[in-house]
Amino acid sequence: MKLQGKTVVITGASRGIGAAAAREFAGAGANVALLARGSDAINALAAEIGDQAIALPCDVSRYAELEKAVHTAADRFGSLDVLIGNAGVIEPVSHLSQADPDAWGHVIDINLKGIFYGMRAAMPLMQAAGGGTIITISSGAAHSALEGWSHYCSSKAGAAMLTMCADKEGRAQGIRAMGLSPGTVATQMQREIKASGVNPVAQLDWSDHIPPEWPARALLWMCDPDADEFIGQEISLRDENIRKRIGLA
């Protein structure tokens, strides 16, 4: 996929993987719509990138806000070609027997419903235009239970299933739906995990985490026909063969 002039919507674009992806896609010539709750951060990033970027403050747990942002991006740049479902939270880390039900549910609202809301807003536009790419940021937690992460594991497992559903329902209309499991990435979320002290992931050293630029490059590659064999699947950056194929060290 030639990205020059294409429109990429990125949720959770204020920092970490989302911000790195915005820079990567803009560097490839794409227009980027930066969605996040933190308006100051995405406004600053949009100013850094320039006319190719638009900052759209948005809470992905609220469908009306996400739908409006997606349509605003499509109207501003003339198309909607790629949706990166990246927004996600892990706090509060808590055991099931002690979890606050409202806080637990809010993680589901962001990590799972937010992915559905993005797909629901984007798919009709992409199908009408003849296709598009939808990539969900997944996690090893989607496939393995971890202490204290019942909300995160459950939401990521649901998001992985949603991505497969998007493939089954959208492939015939040109939708390329895939998941990316980046492994542990040096972001603010890892600092929160470290501070919790719960489960083996919290015991990892900072040097064990990959930089956010790695998944950003993977996302760019996943929009290319070279990745078509992985449509409907989840790619893991823990796979050395995948890293070599993308050109990562």
**193-224 residue pLDDT tens:** 989 988 999 898 888 898 999 999 999 999 99
Residue numbers of the domain that contains 71? 7-184+211-246
Task: Compute the mean pLDDT over every residue in the chain, rounded to the nearest whole number.
Answer: 96
**64-112 residue pLDDT tens:** 999 999 999 999 999 999 999 999 999 999 999 999 999 999 999 999 9
Of 29, 24, 1, 3, the residue nearest 226 (C-alpha): 1
pLDDT the model gives residue 2: 86
Is pLDDT at 1 greater than 70 in this prediction?
Answer: no
Round to whole Å and give the CA distance between 29 and 39: 24
pLDDT the model gives residue 29: 97
C-alpha angle 173-178-184 in degrees, rounded to nearest 5: 165
**142-183 residue pLDDT tens:** 999 999 999 999 999 999 999 999 999 999 999 999 999 999
Q: Is 12 contained in some domain?
A: yes
Round to whole Å and give the CA distance between 70 and 35: 9
Is pLDDT at 141 greater than 80 in this prediction?
Answer: yes
Contact 176, 228 (CB under 8 A): yes
Q: Is 169 contained in some domain?
A: yes
Residue 63 annotated to the active site: no
The SS3 assignment for 70 reads helix
The SS3 assignment for 56 reads strand
The tally of domains found in the chain comes to: 1
Round to whole Å and give the CA distance between 94 and 180: 26
Contact 94, 148 (CB under 8 A): yes
- Kindly name the residue from 77, 116, 117, 152 that is annotated as catalytic: 152
Q: Is 2 contained in some domain?
A: no
CATH of the domain at 223: 3.40.50.720
Share of the chain above pLDDT 90, in %: 90
Q: Is 219 contained in some domain?
A: yes
Is pLDDT at 249 greater than 80 in this prediction?
Answer: no
What stretch of H or E contains 201? Answer: none
C-alpha angle 241-7-80 in degrees, rounded to nearest 5: 105
pLDDT the model gives residue 206: 86
Q: Is 190 contained in some domain?
A: no
Q: Is 25 contained in some domain?
A: yes
Contact 21, 216 (CB under 8 A): yes
Round to whole Å and give the CA distance between 91 and 87: 13
> pLDDT grade, residue 59 (50/70/90)?
very high
**Number of Cβ atoms within 10 Å of the Cβ of 140:** 16
Round to whole Å and give the CA distance between 33 and 116: 18
Q: Is 86 contained in some domain?
A: yes
Round to whole Å and give the CA distance between 115 and 95: 24
Q: Is 166 contained in some domain?
A: yes
